[in-house]
Chains A and B, each alone.
Chain A
């Protein structure tokens, strides 16, 4: 066991441990410090919080801002919008809670130095759409990271957190987390009174459209490796809406954003023959989803559906007609900055293919599916709601606490609260941060204890892929083909193929059914077994190995939830061929699941949808 000889185990004790330094985690650190001046707050991140999470690249808009100071919107308006976009199913208490606080978050961002564009006539923030405001957001993440660094007691960068630790005495209470340093290979044991998970959702769970060098240019960051769910599911946290994956209509190959083009610049999409196609599919949509077809604006999934039907009808490619709207220098700059702030790759696609948006239209296409909790989708953990407005059965303690005691979440981690985006994720982090302070204050001396045997067991588990490689590589001359191990990339590509072909990816036009899902589960169970045989040649590959573990746990959850919901709730995100219609009689509910570590069984349940806003 030579590889273990120099490996140290470092213990880091804290009052509040925050896993993931994206917008959720940064918000949690800031708010926890505000309320607990002497607490030890530790933030741990697998990359470097200066540029980590989904906003590492930057952003060109803040998509969740009410504008209450100008009477633009009320929080309840935002609940109606998010509910409509998600076809009736959101946790209205959670969405309301974020909406009523989010303006304060954005005002603070501006005070910290984030340049927000202003409407010259009104002096208000420049609106991209009803909920979106335009920013010069290249440095959005470094600005927010600066605030988080000042708030946290310690920030640990380049630590891949692999597992949550549970209390020795109380099986449903969290006690910390373990992981390893991607730089020096030491094991880290973080012991904490409360844990807030602000990790990311899942890219690279379904096969992406580009599978060569360009597979990294997914819409959602390739480092969003489903740790938000992969950490929570194995310890038995109740999850919700995991079937509610999202598919995005974006500029082809570069995945450049379309919001500013549609909403601000007033560009429009057509089929290859210049025809506006959405109205053509209305009757068909109405037959599938009934009254939901009449929601305005049309839900994201239904707009996808129209585009897909048009392509299937042989009327593609679909084009964004950019050339009619860039009539001033200012508009051209807005169009380009939209990409350069957040998706430089789209600018490269245009430069490389000689596409000048002033002269010709640009192709749009629907992406592979992603699993996340912060965009026009709401997969994640079932969480306790705000004390003053959550219905009784949405409340069992502290706001944003999961069903695991002491375990809180924010951003992509929390299910049911769609449409939070960057500002809402930070806000949800703040809510969780304050709740965690309340939790540890109430806890008194009754602190969780960690089992040493469990730590030793996890140490062996975490570093096993290095050992698998060290042993297995001697069996073969050279190369990547081994009979005893697979590389993290080989495992990832198997996962992507299974999910794509059986669980509603691009190759079936997002179609699945019960037999396909059952076959998918069968293949996933073998992949899970093979994860014990991952081979990692270095610490970087060890990080990839654990990212894959988190993705596979999440993929199984997504597949089980998709199987459980016997309807097609979001046509354009995915279709159940055996249940092709929306069914409000039986399925106006959230789906819930809980994994039981003792038996290895998954318990599926229906959870009630309460409408607290008219």
Chain B
């Protein structure tokens, strides 16, 4: 289901160009709007669809195996922390789902630099950052003794 862009909705902002993991959303030089330059390298990951402020990007199932007439539309709302899907079948049936995407405010993660500086000697230990507290067990497990053969 490669992406395509509706001519009347795209304003050429380039958010899709910026986010596409496959580097296949490019700006058409004549129309100054985005389009999918390599549909056969599209993973249909929806990164561009979700990022488009104009909802100008949609998908049409891969021609090799997806009959026409379906649509899977998405609305990702970061401030609400949710994503909503509307799935329309070829025969007209519709299914709708909403799922959470994040439980904390965007940008709220602490940098590792915000934590107390670890003891220099701990660099030689096998413990990683925030251990053992973050493990939620008392100590980092070590190799169990092997039974004698």
Contacts and interface: CB of A to CB of B under 8 A. Distances in A.
Interface of A: 30-31, 33-35, 37, 46-48, 50-53, 56-57, 68-69, 74-76, 96, 100-101, 103-104, 107-108, 112-115, 136, 138-139, 143, 146-147, 150-151, 158, 182, 210-218, 221-223, 253, 333, 336-337, 340-341, 344-345, 347-354, 356, 386-389, 399, 427, 430-431, 434, 437-438, 441, 540, 543, 612-614
B106 A104 contact: no
A468 B44 CA distance: 32
User: Does more than half of chain B's interface fall in helix, strand or loop, or is it mixed?
Assistant: loop
Interface of B: 1-2, 18-24, 26, 37-47, 59, 61-72, 74, 76, 83, 85, 87-91, 93, 95, 97, 99-113, 115, 117-118, 123-124, 126, 128-132, 134-137, 140-144, 146-147
A222 B101 contact: no
What are the nearest 4 A-B pairs in CB distance?
Answer: A113-B104, A214-B62, A104-B134, A69-B136
A76 B22 CA distance: 38
Given A37-B117, A353-B67, A348 B72 contact: yes
A216 B83 contact: no
B135 A68 contact: yes
Contact of B123 (A74, A100, A212, A438): A438
19 contacts: A31-B129, A35-B129, A47-B20, A47-B22, A57-B45, A107-B136, A136-B99, A139-B83, A150-B111, A158-B23, A333-B97, A336-B87, A341-B99, A344-B72, A349-B61, A354-B93, A389-B143, A431-B128, A614-B147
A96 B142 CA distance: 9
A52 B22 CA distance: 9
A210 B71 CA distance: 21
Contact of A101 (B71, B87, B140): B140
A438 B122 CA distance: 10
A438 B66 contact: no
Contact of A345 (B44, B67, B95, B102): B44
A77 to B, nearest CB: 10
B21 A388 contact: no
A79 to B, nearest CB: 10
User: Does more than half of chain A's interface fall in helix, strand or loop, or is it mixed?
Assistant: helix
Contacts of A214: 40, 62-66
Given A56-B45, A68-B141, A96-B143, A223 B104 contact: no
Contacts of B124: 438
Q: Which of A216, A349, A613 lies at the interface centre, i.e. has the most chain B CB atoms within 10 A of its CB? A: A216
A71 to B, nearest CB: 9
Contacts of A388: 126, 142-143
A213 B38 CA distance: 9
Contacts of B83: 138-139, 340
A550 B130 CA distance: 36
B102 A115 contact: yes
Nearest to B92: A354
Contacts of A387: 126
Given A33-B113, A352-B67, A68 B41 contact: no
A351 B100 CA distance: 23
Contacts of A51: 19-21, 45, 47
A351 B143 contact: no
B17 to A, nearest CB: 9
B103 A113 contact: yes
